[in-house]
Structure 1
């Protein structure tokens, strides 16, 4: 009962600040409205535009200077700033593209941005080769390290991990306080909205709201005991939701799945539980046989997995991710209904679910995301399953669906 009272008080605080945000217009955020709140491409565009001395902001290199000083912590000379060029999706060998690349008289600085995308084989190692007097900067929401396959032979000194939560938030806050920004309301308001967007996907609510909740928890021993009890059960509640989600999708697809160790329910839900326990034991998912013996006796699967987001696609059941098993024309023959392929490792084509970006919850950084927390409401959960199954049926060609008698609409037995 006391735990319920604490939950009610925290909910009351959250609702109060939600009302304040509505009244002050803070909820009107153009990045979230356009569905770009966590889109890597859109985020990189904004950062690039700010860093570019010739950017549309018209303020020269003032934002670049702050970035070099506070984020990169490099010592550019005046000549470096005078010769600085900032690139987005800078192309190197094998058509690989560096998200952000700063080139000056004495420096070449590669910056790889990863919000939710997966690392590619030797990606960081390849990007570091074009660095001059600089490490490779690896920018993620919380400053995490890249995977070993991406690092290759690089040492820790050659990779500098930076985060949106600290490095970028601090940089933008400093940009906002510049007198050049303060006097230009259009730039100032965009930066405020960009800052709020980053704080949202890095699980940072407003300072006043956080302080009030912290004071509530610290106000009594019983409140702290209740908070610790809640904390110890949060991951279990999230695991239950993930189990229920896969069960609902499995029921709606109505196909015989592959009972392999990658399955979400395998070995007493080992991978599902490990997802929130930070164990690197693979991703939970559903896997179905799509076509047999497509290459060297290996099969093509239709797989649905959760990384940060839920996604589905066509996966080769082979072991070596670094090898190109099929040419584009071979993939087109296997999947003639796919018009434009999105390849990644052994995935010949994959897409996020649901297909509309604004409907996709982030299961890994659930924190303050309404899109995730609303899944705990029955009506929202059912609608989400419907949207996902619509996307799955779009990915599976109509002839395949008819052959297996797949339902066109989800069934309601979950």
Structure 2
């Protein structure tokens, strides 16, 4: 029976089996979500027969074996593994074969991204081209990424891979191979911890078995769909409240919102529900308002996986508005420049709304925290607009 005692027991199991965080060099040196400088670099080095691990092609063999039905390389010939070659996260080349690995942990797809990578390899003369779309849980690429990719390639040459299962299993096998190589073994173990964290994976099998037993007791399993629905509705309520707080703060400081802002739509809460339930085309919801003094330029708060804010220039990075704003805001710390945003800043704390951690949930459930979250955005935007005066 699902009651307060049920949840207390789940909490006791969590406390019993969850290890206290240990020192992790990856977390110290890089953000656990850094696709390029952490994940792609580490994975490409393991895959590279000439990598610093000094285990030749042992790890590459394990990788190919894991995907044995999809990839075949002639390991009697030279294999090259590159990181960020022509913007490809990881590229494995061997004879006339090219394996493109697109690494997507939190970043969104770019227009025709996989299509462009496939074309680049075709242009270089590769005949057997395979695409691996690597994400946390193995979801499909967006239509905009595969636009112009031939249907035959999508069906035969595109593989969906996940950190949760594929990379975790592969790295686990790499750890066994590196058993007598203490530094490499510990690096693999620490990397498995990173994977568990970004995928909310339960590592301890005894923990999983006790949770399964608990679900199968009484009518708990039959009631669980109701609980999951209620969980999603709580997420909708919390995120909808954040958007309302952001919108109200922006409206008070900068004037009436643009008509395409999420809170100005006919059913804004339904849009938030679409986002929570990962429905198609449910990203890039925003609140925006015209920035006075600049042509086709807006104050913008937008959500992909995280929420970020700044100034959006409709005319792009070559416009005089973009260049002027970029120059005036170049001294803002922890800020970024993107294609149409001369300044963009992630909200502090950085919350990945597509992969909420227990810490995130405990933070978001407190109304005062949600207000502080919105206030941070509005106050920083006030600083940015002051710098533009």
Q: Name the TM tier (shorter chain).
A: 0.7 to 0.9
| Mapping 1:8-23, distance limit 5 Å | 8-18=8-18, 21-22=19-20
Q: Give the whole-Å Cα distance in 1 for the aligned partners of 2:187 and 2:256.
A: 47
**Aligned with 1:240 (options 226, 229, 237):** 237
Give the 3-state SS of the residue equivalent to 1:336 in structure 2. Answer: helix
The match for 2:65 is: 69
Q: Give the whole-Å Cα distance in 1 for the aligned partners of 2:249 and 2:114.
A: 40
Give the alignment's Cα RMSD to 1 decimal.
Answer: 2.7
Structure 2: unaligned runs, 5 residues or longer: none
**Aligned with 1:353 (options 341, 347, 357):** 347
Q: Deviations over 1:162-200 (max 9, x none)?
A: 22122211111111122xx00012211111111121122
The answer (yes or no) to whether the contact 2:317–2:341 under 8 Å persists in 1 is no
Give the 3-state SS of the residue equivalent to 2:92 in structure 1. Answer: strand
Q: Give the whole-Å Cα distance in 2 for the aligned partners of 1:208 and 1:264.
A: 45
Q: Give the whole-Å Cα distance in 2 for the aligned partners of 1:375 and 1:194.
A: 28
Following superposition, the deviation at residue 363 of structure 1 comes to 0.7
Following superposition, the deviation at residue 2 of structure 1 comes to 4.6
Q: Give the whole-Å Cα distance in 1 for the aligned partners of 2:227 and 2:28.
A: 32
Comparing 268-277 with 333-342, greater Cα deviation is found at 333-342
Q: CA, structure 1 residues 365+262, in 2 after alignment: closer, same or farther (shift >3 Å)?
A: same
Q: CA, structure 1 residues 291+69, in 2 after alignment: closer, same or farther (shift >3 Å)?
A: farther
| Mapping 1:153-164, distance limit 5 Å | 153-154=148-149, 155=151, 156=154, 157-164=156-163
The match for 1:280 is: 280
Q: Give the whole-Å Cα distance in 1 for the aligned partners of 2:380 and 2:17.
A: 35
| Residue 40 (str. 1) matches residue 35 (str. 2) | yes
Structure 1: unaligned runs, 5 residues or longer: 92-96, 318-323, 404-414
The match for 2:324 is: 333
| Mapping 1:258-407, distance limit 5 Å | 258-264=257-263, 266-269=265-268, 270-282=270-282, 283-291=284-292, 294=295, 299-317=296-314, 325-327=316-318, 331-339=322-330, 342-344=337-339, 346-354=340-348, 359-366=349-356, 368-377=357-366, 380-381=369-370, 384-385=373-374, 387-389=376-378, 391-393=380-382, 396-400=384-388
Q: CA, structure 1 residues 163+189, in 2 after alignment: closer, same or farther (shift >3 Å)?
A: same
Q: Give the whole-Å Cα distance in 2 for the aligned partners of 1:224 and 1:352.
A: 39
**Aligned with 1:249 (options 246, 265, 269):** 246
Q: Give the whole-Å Cα distance in 1 for the aligned partners of 2:260 and 2:321.
A: 28
TM normalised by structure 1 equals 0.80
Q: Give the whole-Å Cα distance in 2 for the aligned partners of 1:328 and 1:2.
A: 59
TM normalised by structure 2 equals 0.85
| Residue 220 (str. 1) matches residue 210 (str. 2) | no
Q: Deviations over 1:92-139 (max 9, x none)?
A: xxxxx1111112223222211111112112111110123331222211
The match for 1:94 is: none
Count of residue pairs the alignment pairs up: 369
| Residue 134 (str. 1) matches residue 133 (str. 2) | no
Give the 3-state SS of the residue equivalent to 1:232 in structure 2. Answer: helix
Q: Give the whole-Å Cα distance in 2 for the aligned partners of 1:53 and 1:281.
A: 40
| Residue 146 (str. 1) matches residue 146 (str. 2) | no
